[in-house]
Amino acid sequence: MLQIPSDDKDSQCHERAKRRGQRTFTLVEQDKSTPRAICFWILENIETAPAEKLTDALQSALAIRKYPNRKNAD
């Protein structure tokens, strides 16, 4: 079974949302639309989100673009 590191920010965010009873929607690296969706999130939150969070999001979007064999959503 896959072990998720305790410092994994995605997992921590997901767990907090679930504890609050909130729905979540997951974007994955293989999906061609993921970097663009992240950039739309940045655009919507550019005035209010902390700079570190915006920077992390942009770095994720740029890294995801390099994933081999990206495809359209199933």
Q: 10-14, 18-22, 35-39, 42-46: lowest mean pLDDT where?
A: 10-14
Mean predicted lDDT score pLDDT of the chain: 92
Q: For 35-65, write each residue's pLDDT tens digit.
A: 999 999 999 999 999 999 999 999 999 999 9
The answer to whether 18 and 24 have CB atoms below 8 angstroms apart is yes
Q: Look at phi and psi of residue 4 and say left if phi exceeds 0, alpha if psi is from -120 to 50, else beta.
A: beta
Percentage of the chain modeled with pLDDT above 90 = 77
